[in-house]
Amino acid sequence: MLRGRRVLLCVTGGVAAYKSAYLARRLVEAGAMVRVEMTESALEFVGPQTFAAITGEAPFTGLFDAALVSPHTELARWADLVVVAPATAATLGRIANGISDDLVTATVLATTVPVLLAPAMHTEMWEHPATVRNLETLREFGYHLVGPEEGPLAGGDIGLGRVAEPEEIMAAVAGILGGEGQGRRILITAGGTREPVDPVRFLGNRSSGKMGHAIADAAVARGYDVTLVTTADLPVHPAAKVIRVETAEEMFGAVEGIDPEIAIMAAAVADFRPADAAESKIPRADGLSSIQLASTPDILASVVGRVDRPFTVGFAAETGGLDRAREKAGTKGVDLMVYNDVTEPGSGFGTDTNRVAFIDREGEVEELPLLAKREVAERILDRVSAGVGGRG
């Protein structure tokens, strides 16, 4: 059910922390990759070795005692979903008010993936105006909540505030990670192709592949069946199928063998290649006054031209203005064109951020601010989801 999904389980200081051990077990049994964070208070209720035995990895317990350089940001980026269970009143208050004074709250504030909160506290704390206000804020932020339930509480009390049972939290996790992509096949291309001049030299471009890989990670988190065709040597979500290529011809061949419902063509494919690549390295002494070029396959056009064509997203990396991107969107016949000016600071090749504009089939433009590439990926998938739904 959750095969290959990356779940970060955050355990805070309440007696209900003992249930989090069973929740971790259920997540692992469902095929998820699970990492655990524990607050200092959580350590008073359950030992870290319990979670280490269940997940196969020692929990992270502080901002400064982990092997990671920046545990809150690295774990925030690693996860497809952050689950805070139990989420105490204090933790909810800190998150709602942007207070990041421990590993859990810092991670929640640093992540861009969905967050599921499982509140647990006494009834009086649950009903307090401050908690009510904090919950309203958290819902406005887009956080997901599960529970609490009515039942026995700490100290023998009975009332509303008991943490949701692990099976209920599991159902919420499955609902979030199932996403709109459940059962849909999506093809993503990434990176810049390299066209050989000889066995050593090549013609290429500056594309790093970071944008395409960010889209692939975000698509997996939404439940899509992802195939990534990439030239980049970058980490890939374990649930994605990866086909590594180098040249435009190789990418064309790989794409031709895939039958997706959605195609996001983020790769920077070379338009030309050396017509006759040398079989051995060309000595400098021999000189090379010119290189005869030949056209490479137009991979985007081949996808758009299919009889049963997928919903197709193209990319236009330009060096000024929207006009060329608008023209390209119309000429290529894509459902959505993603434009960015690669000369703009923070928006060029190799960066972790991007400033893009969306151009739809009618030529309407939506310009986005400078965002992290993972956030740009989420915005692209939002448009894809709406477009596929409308087309369907």
Supply the DSSP string of 259-291, one letter for each residue.
--SEEEE--B--SEEESS--SSPPPGGG-----
Q: Give the pLDDT confidence score for residue 51 in this predicted structure.
A: 95
**CATH homologous superfamily for 6-178?**
Flavin prenyltransferase-like (3.40.50.1950)
Beta-carbon contacts of residue 268 (< 8 Å; ≥ 6 apart): 191, 192, 193, 205, 207, 315, 317, 349
Q: Give the pLDDT confidence score for residue 3 in this predicted structure.
A: 76
Beta strand pairing call for 144-145 and 115-119: parallel
CATH number of 185-391: 3.40.50.10300
Q: Give the pLDDT confidence score for residue 107 in this predicted structure.
A: 95
**Domain spans, the chain:** 6-178, 185-391
Q: Give the pLDDT confidence score for residue 189 in this predicted structure.
A: 98
pTM, full prediction: 0.67
Q: Give the pLDDT confidence score for residue 390 in this predicted structure.
A: 59
Backbone φ and ψ for 173, nearest 5 degrees, come out as -60, -45
Beta strand pairing call for 81-87 and 185-190: unpaired
**What are the distances in angstroms from CA 146 to CA 15, 36, 92, 112, 248?**
18, 19, 13, 19, 47
Coil, strand or helix: which one is 226? strand
CA distance 353 to 346: 6
The two domains 6-178 and 185-391 share their CATH topology (first three levels equal): yes
Which residues in the chain come in under a pLDDT of 50? none
The reply to whether 205 belongs to the active site is: yes
Task: Identify the active-site residue in 97, 205, 340, 354.
Answer: 205
Beta-carbon contacts of residue 11 (< 8 Å; ≥ 6 apart): 17, 20, 36, 37, 38, 39, 42, 46, 51, 59, 85, 86, 104
Q: Give the pLDDT confidence score for residue 327 in this predicted structure.
A: 87
Q: Give the pLDDT confidence score for residue 68 in this predicted structure.
A: 79
Q: Give the pLDDT confidence score for residue 134 in this predicted structure.
A: 93
- Residue 316: count of CB within 10 angstroms of its CB: 21
Q: Give the pLDDT confidence score for residue 310 in this predicted structure.
A: 97
